[in-house]
Structure formats: structure tokens, C-alpha cells
Amino acid sequence: MKEEQKDAVLEAMHQRRSIRAYTDEDVAREEIETVLEAGRWAPSGLNNQPWRFLVVRAGDRRQEALAEQTKYGHVVRRAKVLIGVYLDREAKYDDRKDNQGAGACIQNMLLAVHALGLGAVWLGEIINHEPDVVEAAGLDPARYEMMALLAVGRPDQKGSSDRKPLDDLLLEPLA
């Protein structure tokens, strides 16, 4: 990888923040496709690619139905695009590994959102409301297991967060 590409990838990982407020400006279909493509190329155990995506645009009646399923409904209502990420039970092979794959897929999409100058947040609380939340999107809860809802739009806030120091995460000092 070229030096500037390397810097761009590392910077994107460090600078991406959760964005929960969005401007009125729309998100183009091409931008959504770029985000979904990033998710599609995530790694998965046995390359089983168990993830499935549901895209709900602002104004679709499913936006309000989804908003009612989470205490973060105000974020869902503000979003210009919602991306529901589900595991297809027919494509799964191992609970833990499929969940890890979904996490990789979602993070790829968040990084793509950031690279495009868009903003998003990974909404996880909403999955506590299964099976109703799956039905609210018009899907069959016997087949689709919800992993997250991504709320996406053009950033109307900076976003901020911090991290524990690396020393607190290392189980033994780095040699």
C-alpha cells in the first residue's frame, strides 16, 4: 500500500466518530451503494457472508416504525438513510463467528460513510426489541436476526469520544 493510502486508512479509523445529528441535505443513491459495497467486502468465517441489508430512506413509513422500537428514536427520525443489518439464519454457521462478521461488516460501512464525508451511528439498543423490531421493518423474524441499525446523513455535529490508554488494554507490557 502506498504511503498516502496507508495514512488515509489509519486516519479514517482514528478520526471516525459517531454522528447523531444530520442536515436536511439528501444522501445520493451512489453514496449508499458505496457504503453497502464496503460492507459486502468485509471478512466472514468460511466467507459465508451471512449479512443482509435493508435500506430505508427518510419518509418511508418504516422509518417511524423503526424509531418507535428504540430509545434512540430521535436519531432514527433525523436520519436521511437507515441501513438495517441482519444475519440470514439460513446462511449462518456459528453464532459467535457470524456476529463477529457482522461487526466487521458494520465497521467497514462506518468507515466508508466517514470517507464519503457523511456521518453515521451504529444503533445497537434497537436490537433488544426483537422480534418486534424485525417485523417493524416488514421482515420475518424467524429468518432474519437484527445486528444493528445504521443511521446515516450529512453531519450536523462534530462528534466526540475518547479511548482508554493502550496500557490499560494490554494484558502484558509490549516487548
Ligand X SMILES: Cc1cc2nc3c(=O)[nH]c(=O)nc-3n(C[C@H](O)[C@H](O)[C@H](O)COP(=O)(O)O)c2cc1C
Query: What residue ranges bind ligand X (CB under 6 A)?
Result: 17-18, 20, 72, 121-125, 159, 161
The CB-of-119 to ligand X minimum distance in angstroms stands at: 10
What is the β-pairing status of strands 119-123 and 51-57?
unpaired
The CB-of-63 to ligand X minimum distance in angstroms stands at: 16
The CB-of-72 to ligand X minimum distance in angstroms stands at: 5
Cell of 134: 424485525
The CB-of-125 to ligand X minimum distance in angstroms stands at: 3
The CB-of-124 to ligand X minimum distance in angstroms stands at: 3
Distance of alpha carbon 170 from its chain centroid, rounded?
27
DSSP class of 61: H
21 or 54, CB closer to ligand X? 21
Cell of 28: 445520493
2 or 163, CB closer to ligand X? 163
17 or 78, CB closer to ligand X? 17
131 or 159, CB closer to ligand X? 159
Question: 106 vs 2, 113, 172, CA distance in Å?
Answer: 25, 11, 30
Question: 130 vs 62, 127, 146, 159, CA distance in Å?
Answer: 15, 6, 7, 29
Using Cβ positions, the residue closest to ligand X within the complex turns out to be: 124
Cell of 137: 421493518
Backbone torsion region of residue 61, taken as left when φ is above 0, otherwise alpha when ψ lies between -120 and 50, otherwise beta: alpha
166 or 174, CB closer to ligand X? 166
